[in-house]
Amino acid sequence: MSIDLKAVEQLATDQSSLKAAAGLAKPAKWSGVGTSRDGALVWGECSGSGANPYRVMADLRDLGNKCTCPSRKFPCKHVLGLLWLNAEEIVPFVPADTPDWVSDWLGRRRPGGGKPKPADDVPVAAKDVHAAQVALPDDAEDPKAAARREAASAKRAEDTERTILDALDALEQWIGDQLRMGLPPFIDDATARCRRIAARLVDGKAGTLAGRIDELPGRLLALPAGDRPRAAVVELGKLVLLARAFRATPRDAEIRRAVATAEARETVLAHPDALRVSARWEVLAEQVQTRRDGLVSQTSWLLNLGATGPRFAMLLDFFPASVGRRGSVFTPGERFQGELVFYPAQRPLRALLVQRAAAEAATAPEWPAPDNALTDALSEPLLAEPWTLEVPLLLPAGRIALDSAGHAWWRSADGSTILPVAGDTEGLWRGTDLMQAAAIWSGSRLTFLAAQSRWGRIGDG
């Protein structure tokens, strides 16, 4: 397993990180450099300003990384320096046993990821010791204590559920109030009003829903003024539908994810029903948005180029805005063979990347054909999960047209469908046929992610 320099550059949060890393990519700065026997992990100790060297480690499979330095940049210059050393082969990375500090980190970031499986040539004695540790009997636990713990856990879950239901009651009351006071005042004062109810929802442990309501004014204000009352009705109605769905099935993981919080990575990976898909993927686009709650959401949209499994995957990550811009491990347009685990859902979309092979450049258009009638593709997800905000779509051949005000519309080549377009479609987007396009349908506007044209791929990257 290896990493190339391009990936290192893409990881860097900014040019200065890259430059600082260049200063560290010197053999004299490093000690204890090594790699696991399967080549997936690299590590090293880098001398810094402190008394002890910083311990730096990275997983080349998904470019996860860790450093003990206090930098608030992620990844820090030491991680970049280590990856640079590896990519440029500036120092030899001798295969060795994984140090404990690397294993500990790995163990924390994914289940079963502690010490890597020993290679075949590892002495049996070592295996026995490890096996003995793993095989420690856990049936010695007091059954009463276990029952108490389970009961306490159930009580906590019940309390949380009650708190969320109370918050949803408050939300519905708030929605009723907005209708009573009229839609125009709501639209005019949406930011402050949404802020208040979002705060109430945060207190009520409905954090995801709070974030969604916090972003509602932004979505409304992005529309032409004439479209806002209708959009406000749609947005508020979806909230009612989601609240009702939660009341009906509060233990449903998918609905809980939309209201309270998403499962931890480990929970998804360990879930028996989580869909695992190994396929060739194309990175369609990356959307980075600074939210009102101070978090930055980084969404990578992937297109499944294979014949089976979900057509799209959405990798979603959050980090504090105070960290600054964070590099991506993807370049829009690149393709790779990888394994994804999808969060359990009726229509799996959000996923985790668990295995990734080396990137390849996108060349000829190899996108799968849209497999639904367009009208069905637009409506089916909204009928199945009426609170859904975004539906990724593969559009058939079409072209951008402009109305007299300069607003863009996508028109299918056969003229049967015309949809309004959101966002920026300058230059080439407007001056060529789009043989196929990937876009997100919000229920009122299309936002393009990428397209295939006679000029090749169009999109960022």
Alpha-carbon span 193 to 172, nearest angstrom: 14
Alpha-carbon span 136 to 210, nearest angstrom: 44
Contact 332, 451 (CB under 8 A): no
Residue 363 binds another protein, judged by CB under 8 A: yes
Burial status of residue 316 (CB atoms within 10 A of its CB: 0-12, 13-18, 19 or more): middle
Task: Kindly state the number of chain residues that form the binding site for another protein, as judged by CB under 8 A.
Answer: 69
Contact 386, 238 (CB under 8 A): yes
* Bridge partners of residue 281, in order along the sequence: 304, 336
Which of residues 126 and 402 has its CB atom nearest to another protein in the complex? 402
Region near another protein per CB under 8 A, out of 57-65, 126-134, 175-183, 275-283: 175-183
For CA atoms 257, 263, 268, 271, the dihedral sign is: negative
Which of residues 268 and 362 has its CB atom nearest to another protein in the complex? 362
| Segments in 249-341 forming alpha helices (H) | 253-259, 265-270
Distances (CA, A) of 264 to 246, 290, 352, 354: 20, 22, 11, 14
Quote the least distance from Cβ 110 to another protein, whole Å.
29
Residue 164 binds another protein, judged by CB under 8 A: no
Alpha-carbon span 216 to 171, nearest angstrom: 14
For tokens 């539906």, the residue is: 391
For residue 75, whether the previous peptide bond is cis, meaning omega lies within 30 degrees of 0, is yes
Q: Binding residue for another protein (CB under 8 A) from 8, 58, 395, 449?
A: 8
Alpha-carbon span 23 to 383, nearest angstrom: 55
Instruction: List binders of another protein among 398-427 (CB under 8 A).
Output: 399-404, 409, 411, 418-420, 427
Quote the least distance from Cβ 227 to another protein, whole Å.
7
Quote the least distance from Cβ 158 to another protein, whole Å.
26
Residue 84 binds another protein, judged by CB under 8 A: yes
Which of residues 361 and 369 has its CB atom nearest to another protein in the complex? 361
Binding mask 195-234 for another protein (x = CB under 8 A): --------------------------------x-xx--xx
Which of residues 128 and 460 has its CB atom nearest to another protein in the complex? 460
Which of residues 156 and 230 has its CB atom nearest to another protein in the complex? 230
Region near another protein per CB under 8 A, out of 65-73, 82-90, 105-113, 137-145: 82-90
Residue 63 binds another protein, judged by CB under 8 A: no
Instruction: List binders of another protein among 228-257 (CB under 8 A).
Output: 229-230, 233-238, 240-241, 244
Tokens of 46: 């880098």
Residue 183 binds another protein, judged by CB under 8 A: yes
Q: How many CB atoms lie within 10 A of CB 178?
A: 19
Residue 459 binds another protein, judged by CB under 8 A: yes
Residue 22 binds another protein, judged by CB under 8 A: yes
Quote the least distance from Cβ 349 to another protein, whole Å.
18
Q: 3-state DSSP: the chain helix, strand, coil percent, rounded to 5?
A: 40, 25, 35
Binding mask 323-362 for another protein (x = CB under 8 A): --------x-----------------------------xx
The count of residues in the chain is 461
Q: Binding residue for another protein (CB under 8 A) from 38, 88, 159, 414?
A: 88
Alpha-carbon span 390 to 144, nearest angstrom: 47
Which of residues 102 and 245 has its CB atom nearest to another protein in the complex? 245
Q: How many CB atoms lie within 10 A of CB 422?
A: 19
Which of residues 84 and 246 has its CB atom nearest to another protein in the complex? 84
Beta strands in 60-128 (DSSP E): 64-67, 94-95
Strand ordering across the sheet containing 351-356: 312-320, 295-304, 276-290, 335-342, 351-356
**How far is Cα of residue 302 from the mean position of the Cα atoms in its chain?**
10
Contact 183, 233 (CB under 8 A): yes
Which of residues 235 and 282 has its CB atom nearest to another protein in the complex? 235
Residue 379 binds another protein, judged by CB under 8 A: yes
Residue 314 binds another protein, judged by CB under 8 A: no
Which of residues 137 and 406 has its CB atom nearest to another protein in the complex? 406
Quote the least distance from Cβ 357 to another protein, whole Å.
19
Q: Binding residue for another protein (CB under 8 A) from 152, 181, 321, 373?
A: 181
Residues 6+ apart with CB under 8 A from 390: 440, 441, 442
Which of residues 278 and 432 has its CB atom nearest to another protein in the complex? 432
Q: How many CB atoms lie within 10 A of CB 7?
A: 20
| Segments in 228-322 forming alpha helices (H) | 228-248, 253-259, 265-270
Q: Given the rule CB under 8 A, which residues bind another protein?
A: 5-6, 8-9, 15, 18-19, 22-23, 25, 84, 87-88, 172, 175-176, 179-185, 227, 229-230, 233-238, 240-241, 244, 331, 361-363, 378-379, 382-383, 386, 399-404, 409, 411, 418-420, 427-428, 430-433, 443-444, 455-459, 461
